[in-house]
């Protein structure tokens, strides 16, 4: 039978539909509990199901309270074996006992999709853990099959310290000595069991001052790989392709990759490089956007990477300030900032009843923000200039929706963008003596909505002018009244 000329087109459309459908459900979150002020797991599960688009969660143990809380929610859990239990689980009876205690009482009412055997084992340099990592994975896989469970996959997350080289991405290779002894057998296990290779890429730990914009998905010159001819515009893609190159060198480029952790802190120690609310928003919002696009990476086009953002909450018992501030949400379940996972509400904007949510950053819009290496002194001059030029600066004054965080950089970011938008959004209006740059990532956060056109700014300015006229009129009436009285 002759095929219809529309058949290939229909196949392409169906392929695109299924790729986008799977891509739209690929963002998860790491639910850490190193804190003494978090809400009960039942409240967390209900919140994620009703208020967010998150449909998968990774936890760092097999906490029975959490497992019970997520029963019936349809949210898939990755549960973890703590590192210290790995040597014991390298024997089948112990692995069966672990499954009997941590899986069977909850599954399938609680949807469990992965068991993560430890976390970043090679980074511990513990030879006993490293030697038992793959045997424990194998025995847990066998224990699941003996329990007639075929839908739970076994893996282990790795830091990017497993690579001896990663620049350019085509040069990615595993550490010598581990490549053939550890990773080739591990990847063979993943291929045989159709389970993913899990990695924790953190551009936050790899950037230098010169590559900060590259790490944050901000405008930058990018990196060109002479071997493949590929051009990279962000570090996340480059890191994933370096892992892929290492896998391919061992003959396992067909094994799926899952991003078990990635994130950026919104606060840290004073003067800690790269740490800010603005940078956390830029990184995490663009991670969500990139993963949900389904476009893949230069070496892995059209592949969707299941990705777990770190972390769900700010955890107050972590050892350093930056570690305590990776959360998307505060313990009271209010957002630290919105990366696009909240349902049934606008993006974080002003509380004015007439305010409209910011339009998506991929709609050709641009915002003007400070460069990362600019001093507070220079930024204060920018604030003074903008706010004396007639641009509305009320939002960054005390009590304004953009007053917090109360830092020169945060206030300058809002003011410089307000000037750029009100001046007509010409590129030359975002210069400020070479202290500014344009970004496609909307820097709005919490209640602070960055305007993206002069119309809204004009409305704000008109409202401010009206308030000022009213105040002046009242003052004049008071003066006249006093004069008459005397």
In whole angstroms, what is the distance from residue 318 CA to residue 35 CA? 7
Give the single-character DSSP code of 282. H
- Mapped onto helix, strand or coil, the DSSP state of residue 313 is strand
- Beta strand pairing status for 153-155 and 173-174? unpaired
- Is residue 336 within 8 Å of residue 328, measured between CB atoms? yes
- Residue in 120, 139, 315, 392 annotated catalytic: 120
In whole angstroms, what is the distance from residue 115 CA to residue 145 CA? 13
Q: Is-catalytic flag, 261? A: yes
Closest C-alpha to 155, from 99, 90, 92, 199: 199
- Is residue 461 within 8 Å of residue 390, measured between CB atoms? yes
- Is residue 85 within 8 Å of residue 128, measured between CB atoms? no
* Alpha helices per DSSP H over 207-361: 212-215, 235-249, 277-293
Q: What is the dihedral of CA 55, 59, 65, 71, to 10 degrees?
A: 20
- Residue in 61, 65, 188, 261 annotated catalytic: 261
- Mapped onto helix, strand or coil, the DSSP state of residue 416 is helix
In whole angstroms, what is the distance from residue 264 CA to residue 262 CA? 7
Q: Is-catalytic flag, 65? A: no
In whole angstroms, what is the distance from residue 300 CA to residue 303 CA? 6
Neighbours of 285 (CB within 10 A): 23
Q: Which residues of 203-223 are buried (b: 16+ CB within 10 A; e: fewer)?
A: bbebbeeeebbbbbbbebeeb
In whole angstroms, what is the distance from residue 234 CA to residue 469 CA? 49
- Is residue 471 within 8 Å of residue 252, measured between CB atoms? no
Give the single-character DSSP code of 228. T
Neighbours of 107 (CB within 10 A): 20
Closest C-alpha to 412, from 429, 425, 396, 426: 396
Catalytic positions are: 120, 261
């Amino acid at each position: 039978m002759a095929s219809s000329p529309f058949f290939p087109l229909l196949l392409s459309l169906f392929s695109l539909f299924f790729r986008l459908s799977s891509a739209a459900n690929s963002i998860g979150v790491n639910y850490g509990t190193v804190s003494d002020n978090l809400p009960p797991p039942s409240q967390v599960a209900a919140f994620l199901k009703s208020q967010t688009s998150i449909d998968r969660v990774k936890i760092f143990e097999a906490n029975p309270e959490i497992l019970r809380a997520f029963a019936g929610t349809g949210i898939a859990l990755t549960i973890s074996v703590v590192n210290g239990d790995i040597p014991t689980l390298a024997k089948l009876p112990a692995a069966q006992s672990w499954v009997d205690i941590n899986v069977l009482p909850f599954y399938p009412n609680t949807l469990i999709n992965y068991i993560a055997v430890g976390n970043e084992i090679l980074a511990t340099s513990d030879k006993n853990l490293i030697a038992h990592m793959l045997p424990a994975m194998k025995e847990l896989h066998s224990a699941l099959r003996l329990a007639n469970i075929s839908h739970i996959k076994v893996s282990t997350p790795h830091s990017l310290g497993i690579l001896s080289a990663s620049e350019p991405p085509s040069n990615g290779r595993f550490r010598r000595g581990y490549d053939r002894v550890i990773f080739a057998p591990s990847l063979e296990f993943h291929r045989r069991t159709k389970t993913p290779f899990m990695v924790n890429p953190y551009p936050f730990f790899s950037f230098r001052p010169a590559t900060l914009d590259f790490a944050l998905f901000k405008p930058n010159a990018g990196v060109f790989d002479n071997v493949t001819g590929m051009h990279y515009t962000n570090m996340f893609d480059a890191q994933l392709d370096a892992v892929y190159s290492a896998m391919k060198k061992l003959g396992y480029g067909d094994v799926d990759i899952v991003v078990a952790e990635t994130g950026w802190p919104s606060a840290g120690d004073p003067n800690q490089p790269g740490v800010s609310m603005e940078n956390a928003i830029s990184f995490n919002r663009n991670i969500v956007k990139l993963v949900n696009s389904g476009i893949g990476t230069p070496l892995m086009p059209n592949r969707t990477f299941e990705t777990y953002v770190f972390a769900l909450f700010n955890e107050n018992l972590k050892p350093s300030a930056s570690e305590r501030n990776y959360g998307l949400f505060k313990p009271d379940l209010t957002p630290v900032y919105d990366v696009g996972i909240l349902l049934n509400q606008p993006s974080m904007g002003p509380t004015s009843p007439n305010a409209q949510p910011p339009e998506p950053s991929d709609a050709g819009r641009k915002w003007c923000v400070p460069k990362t290496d600019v001093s507070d002194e220079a930024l204060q001059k920018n604030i003074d200039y903008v706010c004396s030029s007639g641009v509305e600066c009320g939002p960054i004054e005390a009590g304004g929706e953009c007053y917090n965080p109360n830092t020169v950089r945060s206030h300058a970011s809002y003011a410089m963008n307000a000037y750029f938008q009100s001046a007509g959004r010409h590129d030359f209006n975002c210069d400020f003596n070479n202290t500014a740059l344009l970004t496609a990532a909307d820097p709005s956060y919490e209640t602070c909505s960055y305007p993206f056109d002069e119309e809204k700014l004009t409305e704000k300015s008109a409202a401010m002018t009206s308030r000022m006229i009213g105040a002046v009129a009242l003052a004049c009436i008071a003066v006249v009244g006093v004069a008459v009285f005397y």
